[in-house]
Chain A
Amino acid sequence: MAVSAIAPVSGLGSLGAISPINSIGPLSPSAKASPVNSVLPSSFSNALRGVQDSIDTASKLSQQLATGELTDIHEFSVASSKAQLGVQLTVAMRNQLLSAFQEVMRTQL
C-alpha cells in the first residue's frame, strides 16, 4: 500500500536570536576569595597530630609488650591512656564544633 508522503513542516519563523547573556564582569576585588580565617585554627591540626603521635606510641608499645621487649608494663598503660584521652578529647571537640555549626545553620533568616 502506498504511503502518502509526509507533508514538509512549514518553515518556522526564524527565532529571535537569543540574546547573549551579559558577560559576567570580572569579580570586584572585594568579592575575591580572601584568605578566610579557617574555622579550625592551626593549633587544632597540631593537636590532631599530637593525638596521632600518642596513638602511634601506644601501638608501638603494645607491640613491644606482646613481644616481651617492654620492661615497664605501666608505660603501655600510660601510653594507651594518653591515646584514649586524646581521642576522647578530639571527639568531644568535634561534637562541640558540630553542634555550634548546626546551631548557626538553624538561624532563621
Chain B
Amino acid sequence: MGMFSALDTSASGTKVSRIWLDAISDNVANVNTVRPFDEEPFRARLVVAQSYDNGDSRGAAVSGIVADDTPYELVFEPDNPLAGDANSANPGYIKRPVVDLSVEMTNLLIAQRSYQANLSVMDRMRDAYKAALSIGVK
C-alpha cells in the first residue's frame, strides 16, 4: 500500500460512479429511441461493479456493462414512420426502448450520492493527512 493509497481507493470508487452516471445519461437520452418491430430494441445499460485487490491497491472497478434483458414490448403506433406496414407480421407496431425512467432516476440519485460519498472520503483523508503533518508544529 502506498503512502496515500486511500486516495487511490476512493478514486477507483469515484470512477465506477462516473461510469455509472455515463451509463444512466445514455439510458435517459435514449428513453424515446424507437425501433421497428423487427429490430432489437434499445436496451438500458447496466454497469457491473467489482471489487479488486492487487496487493498494492484496493478498490472497485467496472467489470462489464450488460444490457437490460427485461422483455420488450410492442406498441401500436400506426402513425409512426417506423411502424410495420400492412403486409408485415406486426402492422402498425413499433418497439419501445427497454428503459424504465423511474428506475433510471432512482439509479441517478444513488450514483450521484455514491460519487459524492467517495469524494467525501477523499476530502476527509486529505484533512487527516494534513492534521498528521501539523503534529508538533508550533
Contact = CB atoms under 8 A, between A and B. Distances in A.
Partners in one complex: yes
Given A81-B126, A82-B4, A85-B126, A74 B133 contact: no
Interface string A32-48: 00000000000000000
A98 interface: no
A96 B136 contact: yes
Interface string A94-109: 0110000000000000
Contacts, number: 39
Contacts of B4: 81-82, 85
B137 A74 contact: no
B8 A89 contact: no
Given A81-B122, A82-B7, A92 B130 contact: no
B122 A77 contact: yes
Interface residues of B, number: 18
A81 B133 CA distance: 14
Given A74-B119, A77-B122, A78-B122, A85 B129 contact: yes
A54 B17 CA distance: 25
A37 B117 CA distance: 47
B14 interface: yes
B130 A74 contact: no
Nearest to A50: B3
Pairs of residues from A and B, 10 with the lowest C-beta to C-beta distance, nearest first: A74-B14, A78-B11, A92-B133, A78-B7, A82-B4, A85-B129, A81-B126, A88-B133, A72-B15, A74-B11
